[in-house]
């Protein structure tokens, strides 16, 4: 696996303009006399900052590296906080950390103190043993046979080798401080990379107390509590250089510069991501996110190509669209008088007025729709299964095979310790720890559940409000546009209909409501989760993930579900219409256009999905940039050499514990759009692909330039999001089957072609006339009849019947206005299609999942090989160590050769491992 043994740095910020400062020291830093470990006293002489490099990540002696920085400001409550800081920093030094404080007179704002922290080798080695950090002990001797055929075709997309693979490939084992000579330690200063160093230091900071031994208040510990109560204002590791320029210090890696140059710039959008360098600089948790995002984007390419081909098929078969020709034909569609689509304000209309929408609908509602829906059901499975294999490979290469995320997250949250005053004995640690009584927990859970239901009800109420808007506004648009005033507009005029105007405005309003509610839901979800007082950070993140996704799911998808599965399905028929909120509301349920509701679902999907993605990218890039620009405005008035590395990073935005949470949430919501409703819009994967190409660079740019360097953290997977993606994948098969069956007109057309075509010619001639029922105008209720002046000029008393979209017996029939047998045949065909499609797709999904192993065979072999070598090398190491010890002990007592363990066959020694 690729093992990092060199230095690395990390962070992100918006800094001064990329201009060279003539006062930079030639070597990147100026050597000062070594300062004593401890806090910088105010009376101490100030250091000339003109002699310090803005890129310096070392103490004043230029030797000890800064692994972490704490900042604070004296305020009104200074004495109490000062006492906490004094005790906390004293306890940090007791565990071996070295501190150096920059006085506020040395900071740019004149009021901020900076405490620089360095972890010496002894501390790093001790905690690397505690955390079971894997380090190299032998170079990898397995030949790499993973070369792809025609690999030269990918050359334009490759990055330089030193960027893609910054370190050699090693076998690794968990570090053991008592066996230092077992591992490949060339240089103790560079053995642990900066990402590992800051993770170890943060582990110490989060567990170090700030109480006196005699007090015994063991709850007072951890940097998080000190940040929460304002004792410190920030705690962060440093970036290793400015992002636009390499560090002048030869001891600095300038990984940030390499990431910006080869990864974060938009013009690198076609290049592969340097995942090993990302992992080296930011840690595995951020690395796994970008690996997943990159893999998801690559897989979208295949879906986008197939979806585009399906769209092109719909475009090329434009002229074969018989039902649209009949609608547009003056002799057919021009002679069919349709019943009013709303009460009072809507008049009678001719079918050929929907000519354009019928042609538009064909682009998405054609035979290719069925194929693409089935393809996407299989694509989702391939995506999830191949990601598992990719994830397994990364787990091995990044030393995460035996990593248990739960063990890293078992530290109690400071909020849990503060709010839980009850104590009980932990059977594992045999120590008293805080706990939440079951009665309090149940009460909090009930209140949380009730709040969630209330806010989901609020979302549904907003959607109902938008539906009511559609019903009310459609009548207004129909009245205003009855004389086709928009036909005078060039290009777009003929395409603007009351249906389209209503759909577009309602979708825009719905999108605005979604954006407003999102801001509220985020605060509500965090408030609810805080109220539940989760015990650990892992539990907190999982609870918040479920709530936020549930809110977002209902918020973003409910309007699409309405158009797909409810609109036009419960309208009744002339003389017996169905009304929203009952007949007294006068809001008649919406009907689908004769061209079908699919085009409206497409419109809704395009506006919400595209609007969310565009707004999200602007917000992600612009907000942190503006905040950093405003925060660093004072520093722009001073020479850049006065603006130290820790001050530059301090002025950046903090990435936050939930930084990746929002990135995952955004992508998972997009994943839902392109899978749940993709049958209505084959171009959705293409839009998602374009967005994700931009998203990768926006995320990398803001992380590299706009944020402080996050604390490195381990993660062996994408966590709870993997289960959510699997749930969406299963639901998508059902929703797409229902869209093809009930929203699309595919099944009624096929039933007509094969069972009801009068000439038995297997074509669509006569379909439009067959799909429209007849109603006697005189039977229309007075409350539904058009008002005077609403009917078009061509309408007269000679017209006695109108047509409507349904399969019912005509007036005068013994079963007039009841459903015909054709209606039941179509319904049976729809249900049969749903069952067949679901079974076919699910069968293929499960077969593909069974065929593709989650762990590649070569990775499994490498894991066994590594365990074999660890066992063998440790055995030999212990034997050699015992030989030396026995020879030293017996050299003066016995002249015979000591008996050592007899040599055991290799297969006996290693049978346990293999």
Beta strands in 421-500 (DSSP E): 423-425, 432-434
627 vs 631, higher pLDDT: 627
User: What is the pLDDT at residue 826?
Assistant: 94
**What confidence category does residue 635 fall into, taking pLDDT thresholds of 50, 70 and 90?**
low
pLDDT digits (tens, 9 = 90+) for 63-93: 899 999 999 998 766 788 888 899 999 999 9
User: What is the pLDDT at residue 708?
Assistant: 94
User: What is the pLDDT at residue 214?
Assistant: 46
279 vs 419, higher pLDDT: 279
**What confidence category does residue 790 fall into, taking pLDDT thresholds of 50, 70 and 90?**
confident
pLDDT digits (tens, 9 = 90+) for 135-144: 888 887 777 6
Q: Look up residue 444 and give its two tokens.
A: 């909090």
Residue 622 exposed, middle or buried by CB count within 10 Å (0-12, 13-18, 19+): exposed
Residue 119 lies in a domain: yes
Residue 903 exposed, middle or buried by CB count within 10 Å (0-12, 13-18, 19+): exposed
Residue 428 lies in a domain: no
Nearest-10 crossing angle of helices 367-397, 720-738: 170
Highest mean pLDDT among 117-126, 144-153, 437-446, 543-552: 117-126
Apex 176 CA angle, 171 and 181, nearest 5? 75
3-class state of residue 911 by DSSP: coil
Range of the domain at 101: 64-133+175-237
Q: Look up residue 849 and give its two tokens.
A: 């999942």
User: What is the pLDDT at residue 281?
Assistant: 93
- Range in 37-46, 306-315, 411-420, 588-597 with the lowest mean pLDDT: 37-46
User: What is the pLDDT at residue 823?
Assistant: 93
Residue 215 lies in a domain: yes
What distance separates the 2 farthest-apart alpha carbons in the chain?
Answer: 129
**What confidence category does residue 825 fall into, taking pLDDT thresholds of 50, 70 and 90?**
very high
Q: Hey, CA dihedral for 457, 458, 461, 467, is it positive or negative?
A: negative
User: Are the C-beta atoms of 558 and 463 separated by less than 8 Å?
Assistant: yes
User: Are the C-beta atoms of 713 and 283 separated by less than 8 Å?
Assistant: yes
Residue 754 lies in a domain: no
User: Are the C-beta atoms of 266 and 704 separated by less than 8 Å?
Assistant: no
Residue 787 has pLDDT above 70, yes or no: yes
* Average confidence (pLDDT) over 128-137: 87
pLDDT digits (tens, 9 = 90+) for 343-383: 887 888 888 888 888 888 888 888 888 899 899 989 999 99
Output the DSSP codes for 177-196. Answer: GGGGGGS--S-HHHHS-HHH
Q: Look up residue 139 and give its two tokens.
A: 């170079």
Contacts of residue 733, Cβ cutoff 8 Å, sequence gap at least 6: 377, 837, 838, 841, 842, 845
User: What is the pLDDT at residue 11?
Assistant: 34
Contacts of residue 340, Cβ cutoff 8 Å, sequence gap at least 6: 346, 347, 348, 349, 784, 785, 786, 802
Contacts of residue 562, Cβ cutoff 8 Å, sequence gap at least 6: 463, 467
User: What is the pLDDT at residue 796?
Assistant: 87
pLDDT digits (tens, 9 = 90+) for 517-546: 888 887 888 888 888 888 877 788 888 888
* Average confidence (pLDDT) over 283-307: 94
Q: CA-to-CA distance for 115 and 89, rounded, in angstroms?
A: 9
Residue 216 lies in a domain: yes
70-81 exposure pattern, b = at least 16 Cβ within 10 A, e = fewer: bbbeeeeeeeeb
* Average confidence (pLDDT) over 761-775: 87
pTM of the model: 0.85
Contacts of residue 269, Cβ cutoff 8 Å, sequence gap at least 6: 693, 694, 696, 697
**What confidence category does residue 910 fall into, taking pLDDT thresholds of 50, 70 and 90?**
very low
Residue 57 lies in a domain: no
Identify the CA nearest to 376 among candidates 608, 674, 672, 723: 674
User: What is the pLDDT at residue 12?
Assistant: 34
For residue 216, how many other CB atoms are within 10 A of its CB? Answer: 8
Residue 113 lies in a domain: yes
Residue 654 lies in a domain: no
**What confidence category does residue 218 fall into, taking pLDDT thresholds of 50, 70 and 90?**
low
- Range in 84-93, 214-223, 437-446, 531-540 with the lowest mean pLDDT: 214-223
Contacts of residue 891, Cβ cutoff 8 Å, sequence gap at least 6: none
Based on its alpha-carbon atoms, the radius of gyration of the chain, rounded to whole angstroms, reads 34
**What confidence category does residue 44 fall into, taking pLDDT thresholds of 50, 70 and 90?**
very low
Q: CA-to-CA distance for 708 and 643, rounded, in angstroms?
A: 15
Q: What percent of the chain has pLDDT over 90?
A: 25
* Average confidence (pLDDT) over 782-792: 82
Q: Which long-range contacts (CB under 8 A, 24 or more apart) does 253-258 make?
A: 253/6, 253/7, 253/8, 253/9, 253/194, 255/8, 255/9, 255/10, 255/166, 255/280, 255/281, 256/9, 256/10, 256/11, 256/281, 256/704, 258/163
Contacts of residue 630, Cβ cutoff 8 Å, sequence gap at least 6: none
User: What is the pLDDT at residue 257?
Assistant: 92
* Average confidence (pLDDT) over 307-321: 87
Domain total in the chain: 1
Phi/psi for 120 (5° steps) reads -70, 170
Residue 669 has pLDDT above 80, yes or no: yes
Q: Are strands 134-139 and 112-118 parallel, antiparallel or unpaired?
A: unpaired
């Amino acid at each position: 696996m690729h093992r990092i043994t060199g230095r690395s740095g990390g962070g992100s910020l918006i800094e001064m303009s990329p201009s060279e400062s003539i006062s930079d020291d030639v070597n990147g830093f100026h050597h000062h006399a070594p300062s004593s470990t401890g806090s910088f006293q105010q009376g101490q002489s100030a250091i000339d900052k003109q002699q310090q490099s803005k890129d310096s990540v070392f103490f004043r002696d230029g030797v000890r590296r800064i692994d972490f920085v704490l900042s604070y400001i004296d305020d009104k409550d200074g004495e109490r906080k000062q006492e906490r800081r004094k005790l906390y920093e004293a306890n940090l030094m007791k565990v071996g950390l070295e501190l150096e404080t920059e006085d506020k007179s040395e900071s740019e704002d004149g009021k901020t103190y900076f405490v620089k922290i360095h972890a010496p080798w002894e501390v790093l080695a001790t905690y690397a043993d505690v955390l079971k950090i894997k380090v190299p002990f032998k170079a990898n001797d397995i030949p790499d046979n993973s070369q792809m055929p025609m690999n030269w075709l990918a050359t334009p997309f490759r990055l330089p080798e030193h960027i893609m693979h910054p370190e050699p490939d090693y076998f690794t084992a968990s570090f053991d401080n008592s066996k230092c000579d077992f591992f490949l330690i060339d240089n103790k200063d560079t053995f642990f990379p900066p990402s590992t160093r800051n993770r170890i230091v943060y582990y110490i900071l989060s567990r170090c107390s700030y109480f006196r031994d005699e007090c015994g208040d063991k709850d007072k510990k951890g940097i998080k509590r000190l940040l929460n109560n304002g004792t410190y204002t920030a705690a962060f590791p440093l970036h290793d250089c400015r992002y636009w320029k390499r560090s002048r210090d030869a001891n600095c890696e300038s990984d940030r510069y390499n990431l910006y140059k080869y990864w974060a710039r938009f013009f690198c959008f076609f290049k592969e991501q340097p995942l090993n360098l990302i992992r080296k600089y930011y840690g595995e948790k951020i690395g796994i996110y970008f690996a997943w995002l990159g893999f998801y984007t690559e897989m979208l390419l295949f879906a986008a190509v197939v979806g585009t081909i399906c769209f092109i098929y719909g475009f090329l078969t434009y002229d074969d669209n018989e039902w649209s020709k009949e609608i547009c034909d003056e002799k057919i569609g021009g002679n069919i008088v349709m019943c009013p689509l709303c009460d009072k304000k809507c008049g009678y209309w001719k079918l050929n007025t929907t000519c354009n929408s019928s042609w538009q609908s064909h682009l998405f509602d054609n035979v290719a729709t069925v194929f693409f829906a089935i393809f996407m059901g299989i694509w989702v499975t391939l995506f999830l299964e191949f990601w598992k294999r990719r994830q397994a490979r990364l787990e091995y290469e990044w030393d995460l095979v035996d990593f248990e995320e739960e063990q890293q997250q078992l530290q109690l949250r400071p909020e849990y310790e503060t709010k839980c005053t009850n104590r009980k004995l932990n059977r594992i640690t045999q120590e008293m720890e805080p706990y939440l009584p079951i009665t309090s927990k149940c009460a909090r859970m009930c209140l949380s559940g009730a709040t969630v239901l209330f806010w989901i009800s609020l979302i549904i109420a907003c959607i109902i409000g938008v539906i009511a808007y559609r019903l009310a506004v459609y009548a207004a648009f129909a009245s205003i546009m009855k004389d086709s005033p928009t036909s005078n507009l060039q290009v777009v005029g003929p395409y603007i209909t009351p249906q389209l105007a209503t759909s577009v405005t309602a979708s825009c309003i719905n999108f605005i409501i979604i954006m407003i509610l999102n801001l509220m839901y985020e605060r509500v979800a965090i408030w609810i989760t805080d109220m539940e007082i989760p015990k650990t950070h892992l539990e907190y993140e999982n609870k918040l993930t479920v709530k936020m996704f549930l809110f977002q799911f209902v918020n973003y998808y409910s309007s699409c579900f309405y158009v797909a599965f409810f609109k036009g399905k419960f309208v009744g028929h002339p003389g017996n219409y169905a009304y929203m909120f009952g007949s007294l509301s006068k809001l008649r349920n919406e009907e689908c256009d004769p061209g079908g509701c699919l085009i409206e679902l497409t419109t809704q999907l395009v506006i919400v999905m595209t609007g969310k993605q565009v707004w999200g990218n602007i917000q992600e890039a612009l907000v942190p940039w503006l905040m950093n620009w405003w925060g660093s405005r004072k520093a722009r008035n001073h020479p850049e050499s006065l603006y130290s590395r820790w001050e530059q990073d301090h002025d950046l935005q903090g990435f936050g514990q939930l930084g990746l949470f929002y990135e995952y949430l955004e992508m998972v919501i997009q994943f839902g759009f392109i899978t749940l409703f993709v049958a209505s819009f084959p171009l959705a994967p293409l839009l998602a692909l374009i967005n994700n190409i931009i998203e990768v660079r926006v995320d990398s740019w803001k992380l590299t330039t706009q944020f402080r360097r996050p604390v490195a953290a381990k993660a062996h997977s994408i966590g709870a999001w993997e289960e959510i993606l699997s749930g969406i994948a299963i639901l998508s098969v059902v929703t797409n089957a229902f869209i093809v069956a009930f929203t699309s007109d595919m099944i009624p057309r096929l039933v007509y072609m094969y069972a009801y075509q009068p000439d038995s010619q297997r074509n669509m001639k006569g379909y439009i006339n067959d799909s429209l029922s007849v109603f006697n105008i005189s039977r229309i209720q007075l409350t539904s009849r058009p008002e005077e002046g609403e009917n078009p000029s061509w309408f007269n008393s000679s017209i006695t019947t109108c047509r409507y979209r349904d399969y019912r017996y005509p007036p005068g029939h013994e079963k007039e206005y009841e459903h015909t047998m054709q209606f039941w045949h179509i319904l049976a065909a729809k249900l049969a299609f749903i069952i067949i499609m679901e079974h076919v797709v699910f069968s293929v999904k499960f077969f593909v999942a069974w065929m593709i192993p989650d762990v590649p065979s070569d990775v499994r072999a490498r894991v066994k090989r590594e365990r074999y070598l660890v066992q063998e090398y440790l055995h030999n190491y212990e034997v050699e160590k015992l030989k030396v010890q026995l020879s030293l002990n017996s050299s003066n007592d016995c002249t015979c050769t000591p008996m050592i363990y007899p040599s055991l066959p290799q297969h006996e020694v290693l049978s346990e491992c293999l």
